[in-house]
Amino acid sequence: MVKSIGWLRMAMALAVLCVAMPAQETVEGRLLKILKEKGVIDSAEYKDLRDLEAQLRRDDNVAALIDTRIEEMISSVQEIGPSTSYQVGKGFTWQTADDRFKLSVGGRLQVRFTNDFYEDDENEPDFDVPRARVWLTGNAFESYLKYKFEFDIAGDEVDTTLPNGSTRSSNNRLAELKDAYFDFAKWSAFSVRGGQFKVPYSRHQLTSSGRQEFVDRGITDGVFAPGRDVGVMVHGKAGGESSDLFEYYFGAFDGEGENRTNNDHGLMYAGRLAVNPFGGVKYSESDTGHTEDLRLALAVNGWVHQDDNHAGAGDDWSIGADIAVFYQSFFAMFELHYRENDVNGGDDVEIDGWIAQLGYFIVPHEFEVALRAASIDWDNNGNNDSGRREYLVVFGYFWHSHNMKMQLDFGRVEDHEGNQNDNVDEWRLRVQFQVIF
């Protein structure tokens, strides 16, 4: 009996180890026949063992088939090249199958005509290409490691600093770097951005020049908003069902503006807090999408530039607040600002300003009419009653939202410096066509 059990165990082991051999002539099958012929196992045992052998072989074949299919799928995925797609306003996109690498290439072109009508009956007509942008966005190595490069190939005049410290200007208009940064955005509530990008101050400034309600930004922008700078920033969104109830932005920057290195002993620090009580609000102007449900955005922001070492200047800081409303083709925006410039050996220069816009699509998605009023006032800058004013109306026709539009704005622009002889009052007409692709 012990001998029979030993033969049986050997047969079972061989059955398990040799299932990969052809079914029509297997070693374990021949062994089972020999055991039966020698009387070690009877016919019933023989049949049970052959059934077990067949079952093991079927299971093994299924597993092998699954492994083969998995290998084929992996191989096919590896052989697939990057996918290509296009989205209006977002550009052409190439993306790998595993989403680890992505590149979108797009551009924006603005062609503008301006005619300034001055009080002395002189006018200055001018054709211009204020912006010709090319951008590259996407992610590298991981889906959350995002990047952006943006260039303005319309360029600007080139200023070169000579060894003796003097500056030489050229009329050549070379390409200019606008954005260049990485964004570690693994979590929506906490992201880190480093490079050159916009300082988080003023909704009007943070809204792209391609998504403005008027031909260009208002007079307050260049006085209060720092624009682009080089630095690092933490930012995120949280709260609400879509995690977009609150926004925050805090950063440290050189404080010298885009494409410039720090030339003093301090840095610029900036922060912005925003709340969207009815859901996320895009950084855009004009309700091109005819928002069905009310969208409201409220924000406060500020910046301080410490130890500014420019001639005759000291620390500089500004605070501001803004509000934006989108509702069924209606758009409204208001910003309020206050700024102080510390002048060495003199009184601080105090500047306050505001801008308001109100627009409505008479034909939803297509034709909009809007009004703008803006004001800036200076105190302690050596000229009494110094200030600027802007009163404009705009007519905009949109073929593909902001991605293809024509705008005409017209109005009054005043620039007073306290001395009547230096005052500049004008009526200004601007017409601009824009394409974003």
pLDDT digits (tens, 9 = 90+) for 5-59: 444 455 444 444 444 444 455 666 777 677 777 666 777 777 777 777 677 666 6
DSSP assignment string, 251-272: EEE-SS-TT----SS--EEEEE
Residue with tokens 């390409």: 175
How far is 375 from 361, CA to CA, in rounded Å? 25
Choice between 29 and 107, residue whose per-residue pLDDT is larger:
107
> 142-151, 160-169, 251-260, 350-359 — which is least confidently predicted?
160-169
Task: Please give the helix or strand (H or E) that residue 287 lies within, else none.
Answer: none
Strands 386-398 and 367-379 turn out to be: antiparallel
Residue 204 confidence (pLDDT) above 80: yes
Residue 371 confidence (pLDDT) above 50: yes
Task: Please give the helix or strand (H or E) that residue 2 lies within, else none.
Answer: helix 2-17
* For the chain, the helix, strand and coil percentages under 3-state DSSP, each to the nearest 5: 20, 50, 30
Mean pLDDT score, 291-297: 96
How far is 317 from 306, CA to CA, in rounded Å? 8
Mean pLDDT, the chain, rounded, equals 85
The pTM score is 0.78
How far is 379 from 353, CA to CA, in rounded Å? 12
The token pair at 20 is 């990969």
Strands 228-238 and 246-253 turn out to be: antiparallel
pLDDT of the residue at 43 = 78
pLDDT of the residue at 246 = 96
- 310-349: per-residue pLDDT in tens? 555 568 999 999 999 999 999 999 999 999 988 766 678 8
The residues with which 427 forms a beta bridge, in sequence order, are 117, 412
